Amino acid sequence: MAGIVLLVRIQRSVRPMPAKIHQFMCLQDNFGVLLHDETSGATAAIDAPEAAAVARALAETGWRLTDILVTHHHSDHTAGIPELKQRYGCRVVAPRGEAARIDGADDTVGEGESVTVGTLSARVIETPGHTAGHISYWFEAEKLAFVGDTLFSIGCGRVIEGTPEMMWNSLAKLRALPDDARFYCGHEYTASNIAFALTVDPDNAALKERAAEVAALRAEGKPTLPSTIGVEKAANPFLRADDPALAARLGLAGRPAAEVFARIRGAKDTFRG
């Protein structure tokens, strides 16, 4: 009797490969960031401050630029777009409210919509205040947020096109992300932000700890980003405008958080420390 051969096909679940981040300096104090999806090979630049710096970063990593995810229209975040788009044929995703001011925008997005980079997926969070149509990108599965000039480590962006209340609401959205979410922002301002924050909240132990960490990083020539939402919730006064103790210290006990935020932001605008 002929034997019966059973062929058993074993299916193995294929887990997506992790995202990779490459951060680099460009212009005077801007951060450039590349987000790379190892599964598909897709790579996004988060904003494009300077085409040459982005091109160098791509050459160093060997990655192929497929997308540019724009947070807002300011030229120090968009000046490199035309050259990069011509050179790499990449897609440019822009905030819907500012697309008319961003040369080369292909797709526009707003609150709650999704953006994909290869197999990676981000939810768009509208974070106006610095500019009227500013957006941030939240990659929930990777716990990565790209926040442009809305949130800085121990700081936040200037309120240029919006109102203090608008900016406070945007910061509250970002503060609601998980404590272990890492975020990348547009500038290396952390040391100067800490110098100011210590004048507002000098007894904050978390702030003092972050100050020591940043001093060590800068002494070694290393970037101070990324930071985490948890660190910022504890140490960043701009995220603590609804803390009664901080409000009382500023003589604003019982006042709305947006008013406390406006006081802190106004003091930072004139700080020369």
Residue 14, pLDDT above cutoff 70: no
Residue 16, pLDDT above cutoff 90: no
Selecting among 67, 130, 134, 201, the annotated active-site residue is 130
149 part of the active site: yes
Q: How confident is the model at residue 273 (pLDDT cuts 50, 70, 90)?
A: confident
Selecting among 37, 67, 149, 201, the annotated active-site residue is 149
179 part of the active site: no
The answer to whether the CB of 159 falls within 8 A of the CB of 150 is: no
Q: Are strands 227-228 and 182-184 parallel, antiparallel or unpaired?
A: antiparallel
Residue 211's H or E segment, with its range, is helix 205-219
**Is the bond preceding 202 in cis, omega lying within 30 degrees of 0?**
no
243 part of the active site: no
36 part of the active site: no
- Rounded to two decimals, what is the model's pTM? 0.93
Selecting among 72, 73, 134, 201, the annotated active-site residue is 72
Judged by average pLDDT, the poorest of 11-20, 72-81, 139-148, 257-266 is: 11-20
Q: For residues 154-181, give the mean pLDDT.
A: 98
Q: For residues 178-197, give the mean pLDDT.
A: 98
* φ, ψ (nearest 5 deg) of residue 137: -120, 125
Q: Which two tokens stand for residue 33?
A: 């960031």
Q: How confident is the model at residue 15 (pLDDT cuts 50, 70, 90)?
A: low
User: What's the pLDDT tens digit per position in 103-123?
Assistant: 999 999 999 999 999 999 999
Residue 8, pLDDT above cutoff 90: no
Say which DSSP state 118 is in: T
Residue 201, pLDDT above cutoff 90: yes
How far is it, in rounded angstroms, from Cα 16 to Cα 40? 9
107 part of the active site: no
22 part of the active site: no
Selecting among 77, 201, 203, 242, the annotated active-site residue is 77
Taken in order of first residue, the domains within the chain and their CATH numbers are: 19-269 (3.60.15.10)
Residue 193, pLDDT above cutoff 70: yes
**Amino acid at residue number 260:** V
User: What's the pLDDT tens digit per position in 40-96?
Assistant: 999 999 999 999 999 999 999 999 999 999 999 999 999 999 999 999 999 999 999
Selecting among 67, 76, 134, 201, the annotated active-site residue is 76
Q: For residues 224-243, give the mean pLDDT.
A: 98
User: What's the pLDDT tens digit per position in 241-255?
Assistant: 999 999 999 999 999
Q: For residues 226-233, give the mean pLDDT.
A: 98
